[in-house]
Structure 1
């Protein structure tokens, strides 16, 4: 039988704070774990072995005492889980094993702390985009939990289903729900690998698939309307329109690749760049329409080709993120001005190029190569629901023949 107690040691100096510690007893062996928490005698209740919130505690002090009480609750829960797992495995263990495991897991046994650690390591490895998606998932789950952390051991199927229901209630589409669930599942599996919790497959009954997306492509005639818009009096809309067109002109180049293009990437009429997502190198023949956009915005004082990252002293990633946000907002206004029935984003330009290429009967392999996809399967996903008008026309012909008299 193993016992855990929360103890308070008053200060030897009158009027000073005493210290809180945990006492672990196993097979008559007694060990203590210091917590670093310090409270005054009046702030400790010996009868309940817990922090007492005194009437005098206000503001910061009251918040401090509440946080200590919460940390103690987490620590005792974690110690009990460690002991329960030793018992479940039927392994022989000592009080020293308990203390050692408790100390080793102190920073990573809760989901929030564990995810923060993973995000930090991803940034160190230069995986900025992945760290941003993990941060987005963590922020979402923290909102769901109301800021209350959760032990990795406490994550189960019920927790996952409650989170899924919360996401749906807050207007998230199936693909967004799947996005967050797949990230949390990856984090949970990493925790299992690190032996911080046991595998309970908590995400087995929530949605982690890929839903068919709404059509994002627009026909060439719509792109022509966008190009012909007179936006001289609305330069911010003109800038967004030009960035959209540049992406389309360059075979649906991703905006992140556009942002990091260098002047040195353009040589002898060929624009050569390496995709930041896959590392694949692509070469695009330089056309007059591309040159018109570059000439329109003059010389960028930075080494970059386009006026997206323009401040040499500011963080490049922040400039890129701010730019994509502003441009996508402006493109929605451009879409309305052009009479489009769908919201326009920079990513639509990529879909548009694929759709137009398909309508020109360009082989799938060529479209895939042009877009810098790792495989033709990725290109098929792009093309799967881009334009059903051809199928609709075929169906009309069939039905017309069916309804003709005498047939």
Structure 2
């Protein structure tokens, strides 16, 4: 906002200055907001610093010279947003006819600033997600917050404006030094980007320092091609035809096959299936469900799986040979009354145990081509559909993917 226009609005408009004391080691001075009332002044630091050569006193902004300050546009945009907040507070005082003091202004202004602490926003978001049973997302954000705190010991005090492109690049270097693969780094950056996007929507963060926009940090470029995790058909036939004498391994084998016949249904979605998910339609019975991973996304469609003789035979076996809790179709959940985070953690525990048992099953069946996990059933079904000439677009719909690029990582 031009100085002349601010002067029309206020007798003593807020102004940015370089504080002439407490210079930094590099000689730069703190850029501070000066507020004047009744010839008394209050100085509030912006977190920015400049040398006298980088500062335009007339415009109270950084000089428009990339050689002197490469980020002058971003810094000036930030100063304009800070100035707008200050003027908004003063207008509010005027509207409410408050004969404000400098301390009142500072309190109002700093309460604005408190909203900008990214750690507080992260923690509040995680709590909300847990309370609304979005435990998977809460877990993702918790892991991301943990790794950010390992990277930055002062993360608790960081404000959103400090999470700029320079900060993001430094975080990426930190992850690489920890031998994090591209897909792992992508996992963390997608979560951080989602938090920043939501904070901007909630007016808690500013767009001027957003690091993932046009010309910013490219999260998609981190993606690495996933190693194909499908079984050769002879190994799959071996699993289908070999009944295990060990009851735990037989149970594990049937869980794997049930997932496979249900078009690679994930372990958590399989665990949460109840009798309510069985729908009578067009003379047949169908399992109808929404993926736990994407159920809250806009316009997500339910997945419909016709209950074939193979699926029904496994449902019958589970009912006859295992204890089914409450209305669940598959004996994964073994405690009644669990909900929210407790239920999620219980399923994750069973998931880990199941993968250990799958390794034992693979050893018994002499499957050495890959590590047998619950994900392998999903990848193998995708390849089976492709071998049966099912178009990739249809395979993508069957698997419940939002876009074809995800499906392509499953297929040759």
TM-score, L = length of structure 2: 0.66
Equivalent residues in 2 for 1:391-406, closer than 5 Å? none
Distance 1:120 1:232 in 2: 45
Q: Secondary structure at the match of 2:264?
A: coil
Q: Residue 318 in 1 paired to residue 318 in 2?
A: no
Distance in 2 between residues matched to 1:115 and 1:374, nearest whole Å: 26
| Equivalent of 1:135 in 130, 142, 146 | 142
User: In structure 1, how many angstroms separate the alpha carbons of the residues matched to 2:367 and 2:124?
Assistant: 47
Shift of 1:348: 1.6
Label 1:201 to 1:208 Cα distance change in 2 as closer, same or farther (>3 A): farther
Alpha-carbon distance in 2 for matches of 1:284, 1:346: 21
8 A contact 2:288–2:305 mirrored in 1? yes
In the alignment, what sits opposite 1:307? 331
Matched, 1:26 2:35: yes
- Structure-2 separation of matches of 1:169 and 1:87: 32
SS at match of 2:45: helix
Q: 3-state SS of the aligned residue for 1:217?
A: coil
> Where does structure 1 lack aligned partners over 5 or more consecutive residues?
5-23, 33-75, 386-407
User: Aligned equivalents of 1:237 and 1:133: distance in 2?
Assistant: 31
Tell me, yes or no, if structure 1 residue 351 matches structure 2 residue 363: no
Q: Which runs of 5+ in 2 are unaligned?
A: 1-14, 20-32, 50-75, 91-101, 295-299
What displacement does 1:86 show?
Answer: 10
**For residues 263 and 88 of structure 1, do their structure 2 counterparts lie closer, same or farther at Cα, with a shift above 3 Å needed?**
closer
Give the TM-score of the pair, scaled to structure 1. Answer: 0.67
Distance of 1:87 and 1:266 partners within structure 2: 55
Query: Quick one: structure 1 residues 82 and 159, their matched pair in 2 at CA, closer, same or farther if it must change by over 3 Å?
Result: closer
* Equivalent of residue 255 in structure 2, options 229, 243, 255: 243
CA shift for structure 1 position 260: 1.1
Q: CA separation of 1:205/1:102 partners in 2, compared to 1, >3 Å: closer, same or farther?
A: same
The counterpart of 2:236, out of the listed 216, 223, 233, is 223
Cα RMSD, aligned residues only: 3.5
Residue in structure 2 matched with residue 270 of structure 1 by the alignment: 285
Could you tell me how far 1:83 is from its partner in structure 2?
9.7
Cα 1:361–1:124 shift into 2, 3 Å: same
Does structure 2 retain, via aligned residues, the 8 Å contact 1:249–1:290? no
- Deviation, structure 1 residue 207: 4.2
1:272 partner SS: strand
Say which of 202, 212, 227 aligns to 1:214.
Answer: 227
Where do 1:7-406 residues align within 5 Å?
26-28=35-37, 79-81=44-46, 88-89=79-80, 93=87, 95=102, 96-106=104-114, 108-146=115-153, 148-149=155-156, 150-193=158-201, 194-203=203-212, 204-205=216-217, 207-209=219-221, 210-228=223-241, 231-233=244-246, 235-266=247-278, 270-276=285-291, 277=294, 278-288=300-310, 289-291=313-315, 293-295=317-319, 297-315=321-339, 316-337=343-364, 338-374=366-402, 378-383=406-411, 385=412
CA displacement at 1:156 relative to structure 2:
2.4
Q: CA deviation at 1:244?
A: 1.3
